[in-house]
Amino acid sequence: MSGVKRNIEDKALNLLKHFPVLAIIGPRQCGKTFLSKILRPNWKYIDLEDPATFEQISSDPRFFLNKNSENVIIDEAQQLPILFNALRGAIDDKRKINNRFIITGSSSPKLMKNISETLAGRVAIIELETFKFNEFAGKELSPFYKIFEKESPELLINSKYEVNSKEILDFWFYGGYPDVVLNKSIQAKEAWFDNYIRNYINRDVKKLFPKLNSQKFQRFLLMLFKLSGTIVNKRELAQVIEVSEPTIKDYIDIAHGTFIWRNLPSFEHGIKKEVIKMPKGHFRDSGILHHARKFSNLNELDQHPIVGHSFESFIIEEIIKGVQATNASSWNYYYYRTRNRAVIDLILHGKFGIIPIEIKYGIQTPMKSLNTIRSFVKEHNLKFGILINNSDSVRWLTPEIIQIPAGII
């Protein structure tokens, strides 16, 4: 990962100036440790997955923090829940001093609860994902994200920001895990994904939920790979796996909380039409999905019915990663679908307003397929909606819909 600058780095540095603790959360192997050491290369590093270190600190966390009350990186903090109370005490002893601790965490739905309940007002939280394409390509974050600072999308019309379309499609195929995209060996990529999925089930999930039926959860994941990018019918899934519907809900929450799956809630703000409220979701990393579906290359994927869902999910993740790196606050993401099958792939809602986004895999998009997003823009009195596809130019397709190539996202 040497030399790869993360989009969120500047935001993290700024947050350290204003909070005693910075928490970096995200999936395993996405670069949290590397980023922590880049942010504060001279701080003491503590790895709670090291058995000797864990035993030493867990026996008396308050004593450890009395000796190490600042300039400390604590990796995989979810391994030691009792640490959070001790950390709060250490912070409150010198409450006015910021820039003292970085903690990282992955694979734990309980982590956010520990952080928000125990360290409220003392911690800034950022979510680090796998690589976004511009990071891998060594480019700055696209000017597209100035839209979330209430800039007009018109600024993209004359932008010189360019990305090779073939490179971004290759990146979509392999996903964004650093160990995968920085390794040129196909065999090594396959082995890495096999090991990652196996460890996720047998180590992370089993350790966090010891009473979980591992075999049924594994069957659930195999089914989920087939449903990525679609609305998930929990009742049907429960019948196939032979568990209860509440158990399926728990399984989905586990997958979401361990950063491997993303739930997209239904957008209902100011909606007068009857909308579908069932959860929609997708695997956050396209490489894991493609590996699990056994695609050998991009051509195989291109000829499969899943291609549209996969590309849509990839673009949604690229956008979320980008917005997370901005100073946008109090925002969330949704999908929209009515009983009449009117669909919008992504809706972002925050202080910047409401931004509906339609995503298409092709180069040209028929105007009739934009009817839903055009109606949505007019009904909500919005300034614009966005179409993202594989075209090569930014241009207004209608007075309210702007086309933006996937490479600029």
Alpha helices in 209-352 (DSSP H): 214-227, 234-241, 245-257, 286-292, 298-302, 307-324
Degrees to nearest 5, angle at CA 208 with 179 and 200:
30
| Ranges under pLDDT 70 in the chain | 1-2, 108-109, 271-272
- In tens, the pLDDT along 19-37 reads 999 999 999 999 999 999 9
* Closest by CA position to 266, among listed 343, 175, 164: 343
pLDDT in the model for residue 2: 58
The whole-model pTM stands at 0.95
Residue ranges of domains in the chain, CATH in brackets? 9-127 (3.40.50.300), 133-408 (no CATH)
Task: Provide the 10 A C-beta neighbour count for residue 275.
Answer: 16
C-alpha to C-alpha distance for 409 and 407, rounded to whole angstroms:
6
Distance of CA 366 to the CA centre of its chain: 30
3-state SS, one letter per residue, for 48-74: CCCHHHHHHHHCCHHHHHHHCCCCEEE
Query: If 0-12 CB within 10 Å is exposed, 13-18 middle and 19+ buried, where does residue 343 land?
Result: middle
8 A C-beta contact, residue 314 and residue 290:
no
pLDDT in the model for residue 134: 96
pLDDT in the model for residue 1: 56
pLDDT in the model for residue 269: 77
- In tens, the pLDDT along 217-265 reads 999 999 999 999 999 999 999 999 999 999 999 999 999 999 999 999 9
pLDDT in the model for residue 109: 66
pLDDT in the model for residue 57: 96
pLDDT in the model for residue 106: 85
C-alpha to C-alpha distance for 257 and 261, rounded to whole angstroms:
8
